[in-house]
């Protein structure tokens, strides 16, 4: 019964969760409250851990809540349930998109809409970065130096004219390497 409840709750969350991970957290909170699965403090801790561990926040939170409520199989069910609606709906949207793309290439309305959406998306990404500029992220000057260095190395390959050094520049601009280096810097500065 508990398993079924978990599955239905997280399926609902996946189905009605518009706007990505952070927006979805509030939906998870509602379900958790409604069923009295855990105390509010416990849930706040889970959210904190979900935000500081790798991977999509929604998946992290679903796995953690599922495990807390019903053990290993609870975590499997909650995670599968939150992914399933995405999978079904996004697949349909993809098929529609590729079909439209074939059918309406050259159509002024279709092309212009896609073109403007690209500019909107650039705004969306910018807002995601702007939202993160807050005192908890940028605690001191060192934070801004890390920010500037990572930004510098990310932009570097685009402005490098010399073809010979490009492979090296590309290597150093890899996001994974930059994240690892920033982590090491954080350890050296703050620990």
Partner 1 sequence: MIGDLFFQLFWTYLKIGTFTLGGGYAMLPLIQREVVDRKGWIDEEEFLNMIALAQAAPGLIAVNSAVFIGWRVGGWRGVCGAVLGAVLPSFLIILAIAMVFSDWKELPAVEAVFKGIRPAVVALIAAPLVKLAKSAMKDKGQKAKDVGLRALPLLVSLAAALLIWLGHVNPVWVILATIVLTLIVEKLRIKN
Query: What part of residues 73-132 is at the interface with partner 1 (CB under 8 A)?
Result: 75, 79, 82-83, 85-87, 89-91, 93-95, 97-98, 108-109, 111-132
The stretch among 1-9, 28-36, 52-60, 160-168 that binds partner 1 (CB under 8 A) is 52-60
Interactions with partner 1, residue window 158-187 (CB under 8 A): 158, 174-176, 178-187
Residue 5 interacting with partner 1 (CB under 8 A): no
Rounded distance between C-alpha atoms, residue 1 and residue 3, angstroms: 5
Size of the site for partner 1 (CB under 8 A): 100
Euclidean distance between CA atoms 52 and 46, whole angstroms: 10
User: Applying CB under 8 A, does 2 fall inside the site for partner 1?
Assistant: no
Nearest CB to partner 1, comparing residues 48 and 165? 48
Burial of 17 (0-12, 13-18, 19+ CB in 10 A): buried
C-alpha span between 138 and 132 (Å, rounded): 9
Footprint on residues 17-46 left by partner 1 (CB under 8 A): 17-24
| The two three-digit tokens of residue 19, written as one number | 């706007």
């Amino acid at each position: 019964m508990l398993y079924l409840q978990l599955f239905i709750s997280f399926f609902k969350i996946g189905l009605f969760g518009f706007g990505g991970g952070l927006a979805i957290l509030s939906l998870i909170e509602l379900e958790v409250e409604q069923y009295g699965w855990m105390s509010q403090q416990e849930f706040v801790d889970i959210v904190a851990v979900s935000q500081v561990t790798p991977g999509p926040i929604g998946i992290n939170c679903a796995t953690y809540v599922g495990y807390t409520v019903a053990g290993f199989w609870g975590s499997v069910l909650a995670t599968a349930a939150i992914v399933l609606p995405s999978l079904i709906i996004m697949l349909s949207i993809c098929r529609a998109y590729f079909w439209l793309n074939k059918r309406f290439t050259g159509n002024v309305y279709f092309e212009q809409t896609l073109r403007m959406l690209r500019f909107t998306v650039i705004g969306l990404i910018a807002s995601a970065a702007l939202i993160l500029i807050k005192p908890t992220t940028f605690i001191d000057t060192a934070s801004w130096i890390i920010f500037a260095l990572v930004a510098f190395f990310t932009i570097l390959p685009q402005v490098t004219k010399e073809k010979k050094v490009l492979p090296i520049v590309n290597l150093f601009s890899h996001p994974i390497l930059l994240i690892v280096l920033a982590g090491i810097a954080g350890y050296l500065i703050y620990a």
